[in-house]
Structure formats: structure tokens, C-alpha cells
Amino acid sequence: MPAVERADDPDELDSVEAAYLGRNGELRQLLAGIGKLSGEDRPKVGAAANPIREELEAAISKRRAKLESIALDVRLAREKTDVTLPGRTLPRGSLHPLIETGREIARIWGQFGFVVYESPEVETDELNFELLNIPPDHPARDLWDTMYVAGTDRHYLLRTHTSPGQMRVMRSTKPPIRALLPGRCFRYEAVDASHGFEFFQVEGLMVDEGTTLATLRGLLDEFARAMFGPTTATRFRPGYYPFTEPSVAFDIGCLICGGSGCAACKRTGWLTILGAGMVHPQVLRNGGIDPEMHQGFAFGMGTDRIAMLRHGISDLRVFFQDDLRFLESF
Ligand code: PHE
């Protein structure tokens, strides 16, 4: 069957098949003509033609199988996979430096027994200010330029600090309390290298019998040394917050110049990393705690500031620009 053997792709074989066995194919027509033959010739021609058809069909299907196996061999050769090649690695993200710094802060305070709580970003004026000894027209409100939620008659606002979380924790648990409240805060600020309208804070709150300023100082010193190295210098400066009494600012020795004075520490040799103090008795009462029995301290530190110090970043705007070149360097 030379025509069958010559066909070297499936399409060609299909047309050979059609030419002989198709509806108008030669053999088909021959077989169809048998009916018109005389009674004597009919069986003879039939007996001769049928084996030819069978042989042709067998040859075509054998050729088709052969062509298919050749095609498969070609594909296998071409698409050969080298299973010993190293796999393609999936791109892996990393934690944003602010999140990573927040987790490191929580890890250290976790070793002192502090448990992380969450508190809402949209707060009431009452929790953000009033219950923290800052009534509506108190001048201390100037410290927190506030963004209010439109249409709520200044009832709701974007929290200006994590301190309202103190009230939420005191109202939902009983002393002893060791709470850490990390989260995003918002202020109506003109944005520059050291101010953002959104930033992160971590609030700390401890309430127990006999908690003193010395407890606060001791834990802050341990924290500073765990965070910035064992030789980190620390100091308290007097500060003012309406919800703590006394209030302090907590400084660490400048990490850039080591205390001799440089641009980063404004020639003071010190960097302020947080505000803190003993929880005001009225704030304890607002939280349902009897100040005769329990005392407490609170602090609020700027996560952004700490991330900047750890990573030597001088402009906090890079944290919020989502620039992959910056983010991929961590
Ligand atoms: N909430 C204060 C601020 O944002 C910081 C602070 C927290 C001070 C807790 C004292 C105690 O500036």
C-alpha cells in the first residue's frame, strides 16, 4: 500500500483514507457497484474486494499508530524536563519595618509578662480625651491636633494616641494588669521628615499593688538595653501629661554620637523615645480601679521613632511610601 506508507503526517493519512474508503472513495464506489452486477459475478467480485478493504483499513490504522508514536517521541524529546534543575524560588515578602519593630517591642515586654491587647482606631472623644483628664476646652488638647469623624458632631475621632486603650483594658480586666497596646494613631499634622498624620505607638499599662515610679524606671531601663544594646544610657526628665502624675519623658543616650552631641540629638546627647508616668488616680477611678488599693504606670512610645533609630532612617515618610526598593532592603 505505497500511498499509505508514504503518508507521513496524520492529515495526509486522513486524505488517503478519504480517497479510498471515504463516501466517494474508489473502493467504496466499487463495493457499491457490486449490487448491479449479475448474480454470478456478484460473489466473486465481493470476495475479491472485501479483503482489499480490510487490508487497507488495517494498513491505515497501523500507519496511524506509527505516526502517533513518532509524534509522541518527538514531543518527549523536545519537552524533556530536567528534574535535577533547582526549583524556581517564589518571591517572599518580608515584614514592614514598623510591624517588625512593633513585634520586637512586644517580644521584649512579653518577657516582662506584658500581654498584647488591641483597641480601636476610631475612638470617642470621651475615651481619647475626657476620661484621660482632658475636658473639651482643656489647653492640653493643643498637644493633640485631632481629626474628627465628619457628621458625628465631634463625638467620634481618629485616636490621637494609644492611651484610650488604657481605659478599655482597665474596664475589661482586673488588676494585676500588664498590658501592651500597639497600633496606628492619627494627628492633624503638616507632614515632614519627623511628623506624619499617621504613625504607630505602643502603649504600656501596668496596674498592681505597690507599683511605683521605680518599677517603671527599672522596666524601661531593661527595655532600652534589650532594644538598643546593653550599654545604652537612660534618663528621666520631668514631663507633663494630664493623665499621669508625675509625668516623665524617657531618653536614651544618642545612638549616633554616643552622647557627645550631633545633629540627630540636636546637640543634647539624648534622644527621647517615650512619654510616661504614674497613672493619675482619677484615671484609675474612671477605669473602675480603686487608687487606694492599686497603683499603676503607663507609657506611650513612638514605634516609628524606634524603627528609625534601629535602622538608621532619617525620614519617617519612607515608611508610608510603599517603595519596594526601601521595603526590600529589610
Ligand atoms: N499618650 C501620650 C502621647 O501620645 C504618651 C503617654 C502615654 C504619656 C502614657 C504618658 C503615659 O504623647
Task: Find the residues whose C-beta lies inside 6 A of ligand 1.
Answer: 161, 163, 203, 241, 244, 275-277, 298-300
Q: Would you state the pLDDT for residue 110?
A: 98
Q: How far is the CA of 299 from the centre of ligand 1 (A)?
A: 6
Task: Indicate the top mutation candidate among 128, 163, 180, 247 to test ligand 1's pocket, ranked by most ligand atoms within 8 A of CB.
Answer: 163
Q: How far is the CA of 51 from the centre of ligand 1 (A)?
A: 101
Nearest-CA residue for ligand 1 atom 4 is 161
CA terminus-to-terminus distance, the chain? 72
The answer to whether residues 277 and 247 touch, using CB atoms and an 8 Å cutoff, is: yes
Q: Would you state the pLDDT for residue 1?
A: 67
Q: Per residue in 191-206, pLDDT tens?
A: 888 888 999 999 999 9
What domains sit in the chain, N to C, each tagged with a CATH number?
A: 2-78 (no CATH), 97-327 (3.30.930.10)
Q: Per residue in 266-311, pLDDT tens?
A: 999 999 999 999 999 999 999 999 999 999 999 999 999 999 999 9
pTM value is 0.74
Q: How far is the CA of 241 from the centre of ligand 1 (A)?
A: 7
Confidence of residue 56 (pLDDT cuts 50, 70, 90): confident
Q: Would you state the pLDDT for residue 329?
A: 85
- In which order are the strands placed within the sheet that holds 198-208? 115-116, 177-186, 198-208, 295-302, 270-279, 244-253, 234-241
Q: Per residue in 180-235, pLDDT tens?
A: 999 999 999 898 888 889 999 999 999 999 999 999 999 999 999 999 999 999 99
Q: Which residues lie closer than 8 Å to 55 by C-beta, 6 or more apart? A: 1
Q: How far is the CA of 80 from the centre of ligand 1 (A)?
A: 65
Nearest-CA residue for ligand 1 atom 6 is 300
Q: How far is the CA of 214 from the centre of ligand 1 (A)?
A: 18
Contacts of the segment 90-95: beta carbons below 8 A, 24+ positions apart: 94/327, 94/328, 94/330, 95/330
Of 199, 197, 234, the C-alpha closest to 219 is: 234
Of 172, 206, 227, 171, the C-alpha closest to 276 is: 206
Q: How far is the CA of 248 from the centre of ligand 1 (A)?
A: 10
